[in-house]
Amino acid sequence: MANENLQAARKAKKDEFYTQLADIESELKHYKEHFQGKTVLCNCDDPRVSNFFHYFSYNFERLGLKKLITTCYKNQNRDLFSQNDSEQAIYLEYYGDKDGDRVPNPEEIGVKRLKGDGDFRSAECIELLKQADIVVTNPPFSLFREYVAQLMEYKKKFLIIGNVNAITYKETFKLIKENQLWMGASIHSGDREFGIPDDYPLNAASCRIDENGKKYIRVKGVRWFTNLDYPERHENLILYKNYNPDEYPKYDNYDAINVDKTADIPMDYDGAMGVPITFLDKYNPEQFEILGIDRYIKDNPHYGHRFKINNKEIYARILIRKIKK
């Protein structure tokens, strides 16, 4: 049901989910050393409901931040930015605690007006982006390609949430293959709960409403996407299975074997292997080489199409090969 609702949300462009504080804390603990002396930008966040603003403002001193910037979108299209209903777009600047209580009080937070609507693509928001060292937020899933392209254009470090299927986007996968983007540390399976606006198009049975009347939905297949390194990313995947042709059939239309589960990658096969996109949760760039993704690998005789087994097309596969030591 949650995935069906996600698809409906995409069609309606109601895909602005509000990340839970616990999920932010679970991920950010892997990157503490990256934030010392840095300016952080959360540019898809209404600070009234954003747990990203909450996390960074309350942990400003512990992380050793230089500055925190948060932009608030002025609502002109409730189908896209459903809860950002400020009469005027604003941005906040926070330079840390001034009175010693370690709490971001209103008088310590600079509130400034934006001339435009606060869209991350606007010229004045791009100027704020230029000031930032690291961008951390949950951008609208429907704008993921455009959002990542902007981060790469301005050479920014980032930690953002997206749908796992974004891995299969041609533009995103190119960055993964070139080791410019990878999966985060904390979400490798299952689903996550997000806050949603009151007017979100859901059946009452498909979401949770807490004691304060706030609505939540569980969404499958979300991941953190980042270019911040962390130690766990360089741990080898332990391989234990041996290759046999019956268990690992070759594709009809490409010279590679099929591996249905990352845990089943054979330890004694040195050729090309097609693995699920969730392989990237365990990917160590020192252990495996990424050759491409099925639809867009150059020597695919049916370029643009997925691989087949027994004339049946299978879901997306990443082509990998073990790196010989």
Model pLDDT for residues 87-102, shown as the tens digit of each residue? 578 888 999 988 888 7
pLDDT of residue 81 exceeding 60, the answer is no
pLDDT band with cut points at 50, 70 and 90 for residue 15: low
Q: How many Cβ atoms sit within 10 Å of the Cβ of residue 206?
A: 13
**DSSP labels, 116-144:** S---TTSHHHHHHHHH-SEEEE---GGGH
Averaged pLDDT, 128-136: 97
Q: What are the distances in angstroms from CA 253 to CA 3, 27, 233, 276, 322?
A: 31, 39, 32, 17, 21
The pTM of this model reads 0.88
Average pLDDT over residues 199-205: 61
Dist. CA 217–CA 272, nearest whole Å: 39
Give mean pLDDT, residues 37-52: 85
**What's the mean pLDDT in 119-142?**
93
pLDDT, residue 13, reads: 45
b/e code 163-181 from CB counts within 10 Å (16+ = b): bbebbbbeebbebbbeeeb
Check pLDDT > 80 for residue 249: yes
pLDDT at residue 84, rounded to an integer: 46
Judge whether residue 194 has pLDDT over 80: yes
Q: Note the pLDDT of residue 310.
A: 94
How many Å apart are CA 270 and CA 177, to the nearest integer?
19
pLDDT mean over 49-56: 89
Q: How far apart are CA 3 and CA 220, in angstroms?
A: 6
Report pLDDT for 61: 94
* Arithmetic mean of pLDDT, 75-95: 58
Which of 187-196, 223-232, 303-312 shows the lowest per-residue confidence on average (mean pLDDT)?
Answer: 187-196
> pLDDT tier at 11 (50, 70, 90 boundaries)?
very low
Q: Is the pLDDT of residue 31 over 70?
A: yes
Cβ atoms of residues 266 and 243 within 8 Å: yes
Q: What span, in angstroms and rounded, lies between the C-alpha atoms of 257 and 249?
A: 5
pLDDT at 76: 38
Residue 158 has what pLDDT? 98
Sign of CA dihedral 242, 246, 247, 249: positive
CA distance 34 to 157: 10
Q: pLDDT digit string (tens) for 258-288?
A: 999 999 999 999 999 999 999 999 999 999 9
Q: In this structure, are strands 191-196 and 18-19 parallel, antiparallel, or unpaired?
A: antiparallel
160, HSE (Cβ side, Cα atoms, 13 Å): 29
Q: Tokens 């590679």 identify what position?
A: 256
Specify the DSSP class assigned to residue 293.
E
